[in-house]
Structure 1
Amino acid sequence: MSVSLRRSTATLVATGLLGFGLVACGSDEDGGAADPGKPNDKVITVYSGRNEQLVKPLLEKFTQQTGIKVQTRYATTAQLAAQLVEEGDRSPADAFFAQDAGALGTVAKKGMLATLPAETTGKVAETYRARNGAWVGLSARSRVLVYNADQVPAADLPASVFELTDPKWKGKVAVAPTNASFQAFVTAIRVQHGDQKAKDFLAGLKANEPQVRDSNVKIVEDVNGGSVPVGLVNHYYLGEVAKEQGTTPESLKAKLHFFPGGDTGALVNVAGVGVLKGSAEDADAKAFVDFMLGAEAQKYFAEETSEYPVVTGVPGPAFVPPLADLKVPAIDLNDLDTLDATVKMITESGLVP
């Protein structure tokens, strides 16, 4: 059965996602429409806010090893969170594979996610999973400032992300305001400093005429190419761009600046997964989560997508500091669950074209 959005303007306004365009999601991996299927039928439907190019090979590995077919719908994490809320218990999704903890928390607050087994969530440190077991992190990523080393001397790099509203950065900062990682970062400002601080930051950023891009990859490419000096991204996009260009991250002109001293700009978030309540007893869905926390998938995240593994014993990417060495802000990822309010705030700031 195909997924119908059946959305109304009132519902979209209520979820705070109207300005970001909830649209029909990407094609399923088999080219057909998602089908709710039946428990333990060797078929699961995954709503993936992770980029298809990044994660499709991993989903294929899961199918090869387990014989469980994955029907995947790709869209932005915010779009899929809104779609799940709209669909409610009619959703054909078995699992939500999200780019950030905030979106998972948003869906969990609606009572849509099942409690994962303790033996599953226990594989991951408490920092990177839901307190109530509704979701679990699969990989971690740090917010960073990517900069062109030929244009910005290391001595001139800002000590805080809030310095980017200074006039000296006017027209020099690239952002992707519709990206889930940027939305989670703004939510982190709201959590750590309050809504007014977040509004002031967004207003200052807007007044500084940022260069808006539709993706973090584009930001890193443009910084590396010299068309913009700096940009706010997640660390792993440097690895992705290097791979696309057939080189190493160390060889790029683009470099990573990790904001020091627990600055909000150094937020470490997770991509994670939650299982829909209707699939709570589906062994296929559980197998999917367990595979993603297994050594092969964790190694894939480190080596293929340049993210930090969240299960101990798997080394992280070589071009970034170890996860344990990062000076991160004192923010509980469980508190990043007000995606709707953040999206509304970003939209009202005028950053979204």
Structure 2
Amino acid sequence: MFGTEAQDKATALAGQVAQAAALAGVELSEEEPTLPAEPIVITATAPEASTAPAAAGGTLVIYSGRGEELVGPLIEQFEQDSGIVVEVRYGSTAEMAATILEEGDNSPADLYYGQDAGALGALAKEGRLLTLPDDILAAVDPRFRSPEGMWIGTSGRARVIVYDPARVAESDLPDDIFGLCAPEWKGRVGWAPTNGSFQAFVTALRVLEGEERAREWLTCMQANEPVVFPNNGAQLEAVAAGEIDAGLVNHYYLYQFLAENPDFPVRNHHLPAGDAGSIVNIAGAGIINTAANPEAAEAFIRYMLSEAGQTYFNTQTHEYPLSAEIEVNPLLVPLADIKTPDLDLSNLDDLDGTLTLLQELGIL
């Protein structure tokens, strides 16, 4: 039996999304990139075989908050290259993190692989992650890993404004998110409040600017009558159809549409002010402190950060590779050219506070 405190923490983490959805009468979504049928850069559905880092072998147990369709090919390639048998339990990012907390010392998980830094930060703050080796941590920019070395990003996704340059000149787009509160944007902007990436953005806004400033932005946006969409992809479709002039999304959705239609008219705009509207969140991994096979977990992280793993994200999902040794897909704006806020991504773990705020304002 686990103590009441541990159970309460696990229940809180697992229930944040479900409870908020029930109260708001909506279905919260957790969108991820999808593998295009015909990728723009390469057509393989998995990275080419490469020599995996040396590992101890045995069985590696992964709790994955990333979908099987998305990361299954990469995991299968790792098995082939390393000889390590992998058992994967798939679920939502919050669900898998909560399960590890609930299972306590009896968790069979060796490695947690999550869609965003908030869940990784929550596990780290509960002492459930091991410190990663220095060589792993050195593979990515400090912005995209735990300051304490407890987790590391394996791919990144940038927040952008999407627009159609045939109708809106990029020079007319705002420099920061508060610019969308201007009267000229009334009724022209889309957002998807039930989407996990939007909620992570609002959480970042709360962390960076404070509760009142975040409330101020949400309130002024509501007054500007944004068009509500169920997900990010629907916003790009609406921009292309001329139904809205701007949408708040992650960068990779555009490249999924371009893979199907090279003439798709929408483009990404990175906010030059470097506020919460330009955060680069990560998908990443950490090794569980009760792991039975931490060596295999280290090998998997090294594989995701290797040329094979980073190329997979770079070309198949159009996420940003985070390894400094990998050249970014030429379709993407280089990370070095994106002005981002000074933000410890571990602090994006307070989803509950964000959901409460969105409910109070009637956005959910």
Q: Deviations over 1:245-285 (max 9, x none)?
A: 1x44xx32110011013232111222211122221643222
Residue 197 of structure 1, CA deviation: 0.9
Sequence identity percentage = 42
Q: Give the match for residue 266 of structure 2.
A: 254
Write the distance in 2 (CA, Å) between the matches of 1:202 and 1:159: 17
1:45 paired residue number: 62
- Asked whether the 8 Å contact 2:10–2:98 carries over to 1, the reply is no
Contact 1:15 1:340 in 2 (8 A): no
The C-alpha deviation readout for 1:292-336, integer Å capped at 9, x for no partner, is: 111111111111111221112211121222111212222232433
| 1:237 is aligned to 2:249 | no
The reply to whether residue 104 of structure 1 matches residue 104 of structure 2 is no
Q: Residues 63-74 of structure 1 correspond to what in structure 2 (within 5 A)?
A: 63-74=79-90
Take 2:94 and 2:275, find their aligned partners in 1: how far apart are those partners? 25
* Partners of 2:232 and 2:258 in 1: CA distance: 13
Structure 1 unpaired stretches of 5+: 1-6, 26-38
Query: 1:137-194 deviations in whole A, cap 9, x for unaligned?
Result: 1112221001122332323212211222334333332223333322221122112211
CA distance in 2, matches of 1:211, 1:60: 41
What residue is the counterpart of 1:122 in the other structure?
138
1:34 match: none
In the alignment, is the contact (CA less than 8 A) between 1:42 and 1:67 conserved in 2?
A: no
Does the Cα contact within 8 Å between 2:57 and 2:83 map onto a contact in 1?
no
Change (3 A) 1:210 1:120: same
Q: Match for residue 201 of structure 2?
A: 185
SS in 1 for 2:349: coil
**Secondary structure of the residue that 2:166 maps to in structure 1?**
coil
TM-score, scaled to structure 2: 0.79
Whole-Å Cα distance in 2 between the matches of residues 93 and 140 of structure 1? 24
Question: 1:5-51: CA deviations, max 9, x gaps?
Answer: xx88993389644214699x9xxxxxxxxxxxxx9642423222x34
SS at match of 1:336: helix
Specify the SS of the correspondent of 1:346. Answer: helix
Aligned partners of 1:269 and 1:12: how far apart in 2?
23
Which of 150, 153, 164 is residue 134 of structure 1 equivalent to? 150
Relative to structure 1, the CA distance from residue 211 to residue 313 in structure 2 (aligned partners, 3 Å threshold; closer, same or farther) is: same
Residue 196 of structure 1: CA displacement? Answer: 0.8
- Kept in 2, the 8 Å contact 1:19–1:344? The answer is yes
Q: Contact 2:153–2:285 (CA<8 Å) still a contact in 1?
A: yes
Unaligned runs of 5+ in 2: 1-6, 31-55
C-alpha spacing 1:147/1:69, structure 2 compared with 1 (3 Å)? farther
Q: In structure 1, how many angstroms separate the alpha carbons of the residues matched to 2:68 and 2:239?
A: 24
| Higher RCO (CA 8 Å, separation ≥ 6 residues) | 2
- Does the 8 A contact of 1:146 with 1:256 survive in 2? yes
TM-score (norm 1): 0.81
1:146 pairs with 2:158: no
- Distance in 2 between the 1:199 and 1:90 partners? 41
Equivalent pair of 1:188/1:264 in contact (CA under 8 Å): yes
CA distance in 2, matches of 1:317, 1:14: 35
Aligned length: 328
Aligned equivalents of 2:68 and 2:235: distance in 1?
19
Higher deviation after alignment, 67-76 or 170-179: 67-76
Aligned to 2:339: 327
Counterpart-to-counterpart distance in 1, 2:200 and 2:290: 27
Question: 2:290 is paired with a residue of what secondary structure?
Answer: helix
Mapped partners of 2:305, 2:9: distance in 1: 38
Paired amino acid for 1:12 = A
SS state at 1:279 partner = coil
Cα distance change of structure 1 residues 166 and 86 upon mapping to structure 2, 3 Å threshold: farther
CA distance in 2, matches of 1:171, 1:129: 38
How far apart are the structure 1 equivalents of 2:312 and 2:10? Answer: 41
- Which of 190, 209, 222 aligns to 1:174? It is 190
Give the conservation status (yes or no) of the 8 Å contact 2:11–2:98. Answer: no
For 2:185, give the aligned amino acid: W
Aligned counterpart, 1:3: none
Distance 1:211 1:321 in 2: 27
RMSD: 3.0
Indicate conservation of the 8 Å contact 1:145/1:256, yes or no: yes
Paired residue for 2:111? 95
Task: Give the equivalent residue in structure 2 for 1:19.
Answer: 20
- Aligned residue type for 1:201: W
The alignment partner of 1:232 has SS state of strand
Distance of aligned partners of 1:157 and 1:119 in 2 relative to their CA distance in 1, 3 Å threshold: same
Q: Is the 8 A contact 1:77 1:180 kept in 2?
A: no
